[in-house]
Structure 1
Amino acid sequence: MSEAVTVKQRTTRPSLGFMLVSTVMLAISTGVASIALWPSYGTASLIVLVAVTIVAGSAIGLLSAWFRWPSPVVLAVTLVVYLALGVPLAVPSLAISGVLPSLTGLRELVVATATSWKQLLTISLPVGDYQALLVPAFILILVTVVVSLTVALRSRVAEVAVLGPVVVFIVANLFGPDSAQWPFAVTMGLIVSLLLWLLWLRWYRRRESIRLLSGVSSTEDGSPVARVADGGFVGFRSLVSAGLVLAIAGTAAYGAISFVPPTADRVVLRTAMAQPFDPRDYPSPLSGFRKYLQPTTAGRTMLTVSGLPAGSRIRIATLDSYDGVVYSVGRGSVSSISGSFTRVPLMVDQSAVAGTTATVEVTIGNYTGVWLPTVGRLERVTFGGSDAPDLLGSFYFNQNSDTGAVVTGLESGDSYTLTAVIPTQPEADQLSSLEPGPATLPPVSVVPDELAAALDAYVSGLTDPGDKLVAMLDGLRRDGYVSHGVGATEPESRSGHAADRITELLTAQRMIGDQEQYAVTAALMARQLGFPARVVFGFAPTDIVPDGLTTVTGSDVSAWIEVDTTRYGWVAIDPTPPLRDIPEEQPEEPTQVARPQAPVQPQLPETDDRDTRLPPSSSQDETPLDNPVLTILVRILFGLGWATLVMAVLLSPFLTIAAAKWRRRRLRRLAPTPLERMSGGWEEFEDAVLDHGFTPGPAPTRIEVAQTVGGTQPFVLAAVADRAVFAPGEPDADQAEQLWRSVDELRYSLDLGLTRWQRIKAVISLRSLGGYSVTSLFKREG
């Protein structure tokens, strides 16, 4: 042909086959990519949303391609579908009969279009179909399907359409949790589906080009055009080749991840997102311990609780960070997981906690603040009253410390219902068997020296952690007395729990304090014993009515500790001494005051009027200059050190071979009996023969090995070795030592006449190690 045949670009609607296959390929790829959304939602509503949205988006793309809709029409139809399906799919709780959008739902859908993205980053996962948090997934799937299918069916470069599922996968991971779920399987599945799509597009385009060429009967000069084969197996060959490459790459990647797992934490948007609630913005609730015990507040009703199990305590906040001044709730999300609070969508999974489930109704009285009183391990909270939506929207929770907070604050009349698991706790006589758990807490920066001294006195002579913990608690309860220092009849007891107050508690003549000081002291001591320990501030009602209403007053305020254990998890312990009479303080012994004698004026020393000051030009105060010779020497040594390290890494395989041979030779020469040493000496010579390139043949005798080497001395050595092995009697040690001297001489003679490189090759040769396990040569001698 004198001129190339030009293939015309498609200016009409695509074929039905092309549209069908492209739609199926897009649906499969998007479905696989949508699996990455599951860790964020974890609900069957997501499956329905993805399936219906793919069908709806595909319908829009197919109609737009068939009828050649312009872009504004495609956008308008997409918006109509978004409003029609958005409420039943993304806000199902506000849909009429589950299928029709309501006005409230439409309003929530429009607002969530802009706000739900940020809300998804500030809530604990999975969120289920909570409120309107499915809206981001709905928008992501609908937009990518419409755009990708439109590109695939109407663009000249249909391959660009594969970017749609990739966008779904990337966005799903960015908005997902900080720990990936099925990362390898989902990634490989997406790559395979996209690869199949790309291969099919390539095969389809090639087939269409061949058909167009085949349809041309002749060129412009009238010469016929040869018919070109369809080449249907080209796609299959490409598929097989790509599959092999993908299998090799996937296997290598999986092996690399398995043997060298990544050490850095997974970075997603929520890890870099500033949390709306930061506990460091609020004072520690333990600092206000004494305000509940004042005469004006001690008798006031703080809470009214129904369904409270007998013996339960009400948690206000869990404190795990101590800086020597105050015990606080975490140190922020960076240094303490107890400082990271998120919204709770539906419920907290407490299935791993052993205990009994309880439903508790709480009504706020005179209690105020942002900290939400809870019981046990919280599973679900439901707010009541007219302001329930506002309270739920501002509720944040930390699952690690079981601490809840309402950012807008609680007021009198607020009510809510808790569903919680009351964890199983050990009995008092089981505390000695406790072992420290694996929990990680922020380090304590300040520990009074007096605390360590008192702890040593309590646990002296004990070794088990549980026994030490019990001895510490018994010591505090034995030596301590309780006084809040708020009444005229109570002994003075200073509030606070800073390091100086703890020192005062432990060094005073009478150990006087209340739950605030004893809880902090016990927590610090438990941490010194190796137990992860934290302080819990809350209420400990004395008159609980399990089947009725329990009134919690200010006098019920309390503080206790929780220690993490291997068997029970976090165990609550009250270290406060029992209430008892406080003895009178013993008067201190009078101090003898010595009257000073009349002062005697000392003799004035002789003065030296000489000016010993250095002249202004003195260089005494100047910083001495670095020694240039020493600096150059340090740099040279630094460079040599790095060079040595690199060379050691590069030569490590060869050094290992040489070390293995040296180890083998040492084991043979130091064998327990002379016969074994002589047999080992011959084996050492035979291995040296192999390493120097000689090939005696399969299973050669000693004489055959000597013949291969040549010379008189190898024959003598072979005869001596045969006589030692086969002759009656046991050879003596001198004969074994003489044989080894001959072996050393023969090994040296094998190197004669060889170049340096040939000698090095013999040292690192693997021929003589073929029948040995190198690792066994490095085992310890018995």
Structure 2
Amino acid sequence: MTTPPTGAPDHTTGPGRDSTSPGRTRARTSWTSTRSRLAASSRRGGLLPGRDALVDAAFTVVLVGLALVGFRTDFAGLVWVLPAVAGLVLGLLVTHVTTAYRLPIVAPLAAVTVLYLLLGGPLAVRRDLVGGVLPSGQTFLDLADVSVHGWKRLVTLLPPVDTGSGLLALPLIVGLLGGCVTYAVARRWSSPYAVLPAPLVLLALGIVLGTLEPAALTVQGAVFAVLGIGWMVARAARTRAPLQNGAGQRTRYGIGAALVGIALVAGYVVGPLLPGAGSTTRLVARSHVVPPIDIAAFASPLAGYRKYTEPNPSALWDTPLLEVQGLPAGTPLRFATLDSYDGAVWGASERANSGSLVPGAAFQQVGEVVSTKGPGRKVEVQVSVPEGGYGDVWLPTAGTVAGVKFEGRRADTLAGRLWLNIDTNTALVPDRLEPGDRYTFTAYVPPTQEKMPTSLPIDQSSLADEIDTSFLDAKLDAFTGDAADPWAQFTAIAKVMASEGAYTDGGTENSVERYYLPGHSLGRLARFVGLAQLAGNDEQYASTLALMANRVGVPTRVVMGAITPDSGPVRGQDVHAWVEVRDSQGQWVPVLPGNFLPDRNKKPKELQTKVEDRKVGALVPPPAGVNPPSVLQGPDQAQNATNLKKPPKKLFDPSAWPWWVQWLAVLGLVLVALTALYWTIRGLKAWRRRRHATRGPTASRVAWAWADLMASARSYGHRIPRRSTRLEQASAAGGPVDLRPLARSANGHVFGPGEPSADEAAAYFAATTAARKDLRANADFWRRLRSDVDLRPLFTRGPAKVKAPTRAATPDTPSPAQPTPVGSM
């Protein structure tokens, strides 16, 4: 480019600029050069980063890393660190390479997507890998599913989540996108403030996805704020013009330090006075997400107790139900803890305990590891279901559950739909256990106390205040006698039941005991305590004892399960119901059936059974108006339970396809998405170009047409200076296409004395369109593709609106040069 002769107009100033002040021009030029230094450093084409790039990379790593610390409370241990750090580093490297080679911003986003699919398997999912390294079709499906639905599963799972859930892909996603977007903004935009929104969004995301326990309060608060301000200050120093008033670097640093000090003092003083500052409850997503589980859809196991007794049509009395190894003999094996009574049935409630990490959620999805600890020693128990054995939704466990791992052909299905109430330690699998299912649970099991303690400090309250149980008062007075404190009254009730009551399972079909019906509704229990002699089985005795205990202020709940035998499998004869009492420390103390249940061989008196024969109508409890919570209609759960299994797999279920079909499906979806994105970008650029060519003043249309042409030339790889005249830009374009006639024509239309006509503006737009086609024809395939997907023309700021000249053109005024067709150049 030749230097303009002396006296020639300075095109670098542009119309309307003051070129008479050398000092002001030098300051403006220095300001322009320093502001463009950041963008120019990323367009040199080299992979070796400069000082500014290293500073931006360091701040990106630190700030995004601090935001990723929010996952600490979501996952068990430090397993989340590897995918999070790997994602951050890979996102940073990919963005650096694509920025160094001046690729559009869509390039690093596409690259991190590919890296997520290729490396997400070994880094996060770690299942269904080919050779333990290469991803399979199922791996791709799992990664895609986690990227869409994993966020909801994370906030509904009981924290901390274990590695087997597949949700480690979420820290990988956040690390990849966080490193990519933050560093890309830092290297492509010179604004000091543009770099902070992305890390702030990541920080807020980590808090929202976290728990009520802060991950790192000081680090994510004060340290993040100080580093963020420091980064903005460092970037602002790059674009600061040289000062002419003598103010030096020390002065600026002093002013900055003083401002930071004022901000810290103001935050310390004013912060506690802001709205919400005095609240101790964090706002997290899991506090406002209701887990998608309806406990009322599952029958209470106590309603079907009689199917385990003898005689019974189910014939489960001597049938092996469960094979249990690792649990000491005599230890209670819990099916379900039933802590809610509605007048019809004892069922599992949906209320959460006060110390839950997820307020309002009782049953929460869990993985293989549960972050709990209880009294007793830690045991590992193996459970398997033999043929014809246990088949219910309630998962047998013991003690304080610390983890469950499934095995067998349905391991993934059961593990993905395991729910646990950490207050009652009741586990639930809606798909039901089936013969052949195996699982291992880890639990803290205290020593079994077969006898009740003589004294126990209890937490005096009631779990059944809403139900009218005044019909028990007559028996309470007779059972408690002179006992004064609530625990003494409780033990007195249990002893009277065991010594004076009778046991019956309903007898045979022709037995007089058949009139002792199953159930534990208010009607059935009123008949139970209304007789001269109590007569029933575990269902009636445990239910009545729990209601009487709550009546005298002893918080008591019912547990349905089995007592582990000395040897052999758990059979129907080992199934029992017992109660648990809450002490003053909040612990639940089991009271086993041997403390309140009469001997099985002690049958009801014959005279009483004959009386009941005449009162058979009175023994039938009235039908319930609606289904009570946690119970299905009918006492026999095996005959009336709703089919809760998943529907069979269909032809369009991707998980049932062969792996190569899954690969082809994923590849097809990716190609369709990329094609749609390609034509969407091209269509938006064409729409924007046409819009500016047909609206506004005609001189502005011409200026916009030239600006759009220069944006296209840049996307084809031409180095077009931004702050220069049109003739200088046309000369810089070079190549086989001469754009200087179009530049002269644009200058004539814009700076001429008259406003160009609409036809002249349309003709100029047609000429620039032809020139754009010639530029495309002289570019190779990859440059054309890069230009097609380049998003920069969509966000390029066009020239300022050109106003029409106030004076009319005279015959002596030369007309603007007409555009010359590029093809004839």
After TM superposition, the score normalised by the length of structure 1 is: 0.66
Aligned residue among 462, 471, 489 for 2:483: 462
Match of 1:665? none
Aligned residue among 269, 276, 291 for 2:285: 269
Match of 2:340? 321
- Return the offset for 1:194: 1.6
Match of 1:238? 256
Q: Distance in 2 between the 1:536 and 1:271 partners?
A: 28
Aligned residue among 12, 17, 20 for 2:40: 12
Match of 2:392? 369
Q: Do the aligned partners of residues 453 and 188 (structure 1) sit closer, same or farther apart at CA in structure 2, a change above 3 Å counting?
A: farther
**Does the 8 A contact of 2:327 with 2:379 survive in 1?**
no
- Return the offset for 1:88: 2.8
Aligned residue among 545, 569, 573 for 2:587: 569
2:114 corresponds to 1:114: no
Q: Do the aligned partners of residues 202 and 72 (structure 1) sit closer, same or farther apart at CA in structure 2, a change above 3 Å counting?
A: closer
Aligned residue among 493, 500, 524 for 2:516: 493
2:554 corresponds to 1:524: no
**Does the 8 A contact of 1:112 with 1:135 survive in 2?**
yes
Per-residue Cα deviation, 1:437-460 (whole angstroms, up to 9, x for no partner): 49x986542132122343344334
3-state DSSP class of the match of 2:172? helix
Per-residue Cα deviation, 1:365-397 (whole angstroms, up to 9, x for no partner): 332221112233323323222222222222222
- Return the offset for 1:329: 0.8
**Does the 8 A contact of 1:381 with 1:419 survive in 2?**
yes
Aligned residue among 553, 558, 570 for 2:576: 558
Tell me how large the CA RMSD over aligned residues is. Answer: 3.2
Match of 1:445? 466
- Return the offset for 1:92: 4.0
Match of 1:288? 304
Per-residue Cα deviation, 1:28-85 (whole angstroms, up to 9, x for no partner): 1112222111100133222222322222222223233333221232223222332343
Question: Which is worse superposed, 156-165 or 106-115?
Answer: 106-115
2:295 corresponds to 1:279: yes
Q: Do the aligned partners of residues 70 and 257 (structure 1) sit closer, same or farther apart at CA in structure 2, a change above 3 Å counting?
A: closer
- Return the offset for 1:180: 3.7
- Return the offset for 1:536: 0.7
Match of 2:70? 36
2:436 corresponds to 1:413: yes
Match of 1:480? 501
Q: Distance in 2 between the 1:179 and 1:471 partners?
A: 44
**Does the 8 A contact of 1:354 with 1:423 survive in 2?**
yes
Q: Do the aligned partners of residues 149 and 185 (structure 1) sit closer, same or farther apart at CA in structure 2, a change above 3 Å counting?
A: closer
TM alignment of 1:706-717, pairs within 5 A:
none
- Return the offset for 1:98: 7.5
Q: Do the aligned partners of residues 243 and 135 (structure 1) sit closer, same or farther apart at CA in structure 2, a change above 3 Å counting?
A: farther
Aligned residue among 377, 388, 392 for 1:355: 377
Any gaps of 5 or more consecutive residues in structure 2?
1-20, 43-48, 612-825
Match of 1:160? 194
Q: Do the aligned partners of residues 311 and 163 (structure 1) sit closer, same or farther apart at CA in structure 2, a change above 3 Å counting?
A: same
Identity across the alignment (%) = 28
Matching residue's letter, 2:108: V
Q: Do the aligned partners of residues 157 and 568 (structure 1) sit closer, same or farther apart at CA in structure 2, a change above 3 Å counting?
A: closer
| Higher Rg | 1
**Does the 8 A contact of 1:447 with 1:524 survive in 2?**
no
Q: Do the aligned partners of residues 309 and 62 (structure 1) sit closer, same or farther apart at CA in structure 2, a change above 3 Å counting?
A: same
Match of 2:733? none
**Does the 8 A contact of 1:299 with 1:554 survive in 2?**
yes
Q: Distance in 1 between the 2:93 and 2:261 partners?
A: 31
Match of 1:56? 90
- Return the offset for 1:164: 1.6
Per-residue Cα deviation, 1:167-202 (whole angstroms, up to 9, x for no partner): 112112222224444445532332222222223333
Q: Distance in 2 between the 1:129 and 1:413 partners?
A: 25
Q: Do the aligned partners of residues 157 and 554 (structure 1) sit closer, same or farther apart at CA in structure 2, a change above 3 Å counting?
A: same
TM alignment of 1:218-237, pairs within 5 A:
228-237=246-255
Q: Do the aligned partners of residues 256 and 272 (structure 1) sit closer, same or farther apart at CA in structure 2, a change above 3 Å counting?
A: closer
Match of 1:659? none
Matching residue's letter, 2:374: A
- Return the offset for 1:147: 1.0
**Does the 8 A contact of 2:401 with 2:441 survive in 1?**
yes
**Does the 8 A contact of 2:89 with 2:179 survive in 1?**
no
3-state DSSP class of the match of 1:408? coil
Q: Distance in 2 between the 1:339 and 1:285 partners?
A: 22
Q: Distance in 1 between the 2:143 and 2:562 partners?
A: 42
**Does the 8 A contact of 2:120 with 2:143 survive in 1?**
yes
3-state DSSP class of the match of 1:394? coil
Q: Distance in 2 between the 1:3 and 1:339 partners?
A: 67
Q: Distance in 1 between the 2:278 and 2:544 partners?
A: 41
3-state DSSP class of the match of 2:318? coil
Counting matched residue pairs gives 563
- Return the offset for 1:338: 9.9
Greater relative contact order: 1 or 2 (C-alpha under 8 angstroms, separation 6 or more)? 2
Q: Distance in 1 between the 2:247 and 2:297 partners?
A: 75
- Return the offset for 1:292: 2.6
- Return the offset for 1:499: 1.5
Any gaps of 5 or more consecutive residues in structure 1?
214-225, 589-782
3-state DSSP class of the match of 2:167? coil
Matching residue's letter, 1:484: D
Q: Do the aligned partners of residues 42 and 391 (structure 1) sit closer, same or farther apart at CA in structure 2, a change above 3 Å counting?
A: closer
Q: Do the aligned partners of residues 386 and 79 (structure 1) sit closer, same or farther apart at CA in structure 2, a change above 3 Å counting?
A: same
**Does the 8 A contact of 1:510 with 1:585 survive in 2?**
no
- Return the offset for 1:151: 1.0
**Does the 8 A contact of 2:367 with 2:418 survive in 1?**
no
Q: Distance in 2 between the 1:244 and 1:57 partners?
A: 36
Match of 2:622? none
Matching residue's letter, 2:402: E
Per-residue Cα deviation, 1:334-387 (whole angstroms, up to 9, x for no partner): 999897322222222343322352423322433222111223332332322222
TM alignment of 1:160-179, pairs within 5 A:
160-179=194-213
Matching residue's letter, 2:590: A
Matching residue's letter, 2:252: V
Match of 1:378? 401
Q: Distance in 2 between the 1:506 and 1:421 partners?
A: 37
- Return the offset for 1:585: 3.2
Question: Which is worse superposed, 398-407 or 341-350?
Answer: 341-350
Matching residue's letter, 1:61: T
Q: Distance in 2 between the 1:378 and 1:204 partners?
A: 58
Q: Do the aligned partners of residues 235 and 51 (structure 1) sit closer, same or farther apart at CA in structure 2, a change above 3 Å counting?
A: farther
**Does the 8 A contact of 1:377 with 1:420 survive in 2?**
yes
Q: Distance in 2 between the 1:83 and 1:245 partners?
A: 44
Q: Distance in 1 between the 2:114 and 2:373 partners?
A: 43
After TM superposition, the score normalised by the length of structure 2 is: 0.63
Matching residue's letter, 2:287: T
